[in-house]
Amino acid sequence: MLRRSLLASPFLAAPLIAVMPARAQAPWPDKPVTLIVGYGAGGATDIIARTFAERMQPLLGQPMVVQNVTGAGGTIASDRVAKAAPDGHTILLIPNAHAVAPGLYARLPYDTAGDFTALFFAGNSANVLVVPAGSPDRDLAALAARGRAASAPLQTGSAALAGWQPAHQIMKEALGLTLEHVPYRSGPQGQTDLIAGRLDFMVSNVLEVAEHVRAGRLRALAVTSPTRSPLLPEVPTFAELGVTALQADSWFGVIAPRGTPAAALDRMHAAFTSIAGVPEVASRLQTLGLIPAPMEREAWQRFYLAEVEKWSAVPRRANIRIE
């Protein structure tokens, strides 16, 4: 009886509880982190992903593996990450085409604004309109004049969502063009056809085509950025050529499933930021045409939501909808 009373006493119970070992939490990451890319190998998104991923293991203690999940303009990859366990082991690198999807598709299996949380903003990059080296179009005015006079639509292509790209829509409206789109799984696949003369033009990320332009395989007519690209400084902007509506950089960023622990997000953000600051990496990304724009996670989250609202409105205004 006395023993039972003593054990029940709060004065004796507290020390007994105090010496009990705390339950250890599982370390993070306890397996490789998968960085999913919604486009094929060799494209801008893939190049950026691999530049970061190959340097992650010393910082995280686990490798970061890039996985290309192609199809449906990146929405298959987005869906996979939206439905992944929010444990910090599955993340997604996106271009701003990701923000267009909710305005283009009547139904998506995920909520673009609500199912993700922002992790790291990689930076901005210009898009550029390119034609084959053998094209008769020496400038944008010549391309537009030929397109308006032709009896058949101009042939273009991209890995864009469901064969639709905001730049194409703006060119139709601003230049009075009729276009026929050829879909590709990645930008480089389309550029191969463009170099061979099977397409009239493409609007591609400068990261993907600058080497082709410098090598004389493609001719650049205009860039979409507000100012000229440092990668192709001789190429005018669309705004300089009078197409002010087509003035926007591409951007790239990393997102994770909603509910991913803040500790994992903070650690990955710190790792990405550290790698971006390595001179060799910064030089490589700038050579590719990516302009860093450091953001804290909270700022990237606000920017991400604003971009989803902005870009999803473009196909809605054009009354373009994919069922």
pLDDT of residue 160: 61
Task: Compute the distance between CA of residue 230 and CA of residue 128 in angstroms, rounded to an integer.
Answer: 12
The stretch 251-277 carries a mean pLDDT of: 97
Phi-psi region of 63 (alpha: psi -120 to 50; beta: other; left: phi over 0): beta
Give span(s): CATH 3.40.190.150, the chain: 33-124+250-317
**Non-local CB neighbours of 157 within 8 Å, separated by 6+ positions:** 181, 182, 183, 184, 190, 193, 194, 199, 202
Q: What is the pLDDT of residues 76-125, one digit of tens each?
A: 999 999 999 999 999 999 998 899 999 988 899 999 999 999 999 999 88
Q: Other CB atoms closer than 10 Å to residue 46's CB: what's the count?
A: 22
Looking at every residue in the chain, the average pLDDT score rounds to 88
Q: What is the pLDDT of residues 206-223, one digit of tens each?
A: 888 999 999 999 999 999
The stretch 270-274 carries a mean pLDDT of: 98
pLDDT of residue 164: 58
Residue linked to tokens 């054009």: 318
Q: Among candidates 206, 211, 204, 255, which has minimal Cα distance to 228?
A: 206
Task: Compute the distance between CA of residue 67 and CA of residue 37 in angstroms, rounded to an integer.
Answer: 6
Q: What is the CATH number of domain 33-124+250-317?
A: 3.40.190.150
pLDDT above 50 (res 9): no
Task: Compute the distance between CA of residue 208 and CA of residue 102 in angstroms, rounded to an integer.
Answer: 26
Give span(s): CATH 3.40.190.10, the chain: 127-223
Does domain 127-223 fall into CATH 3.40.190.10? yes
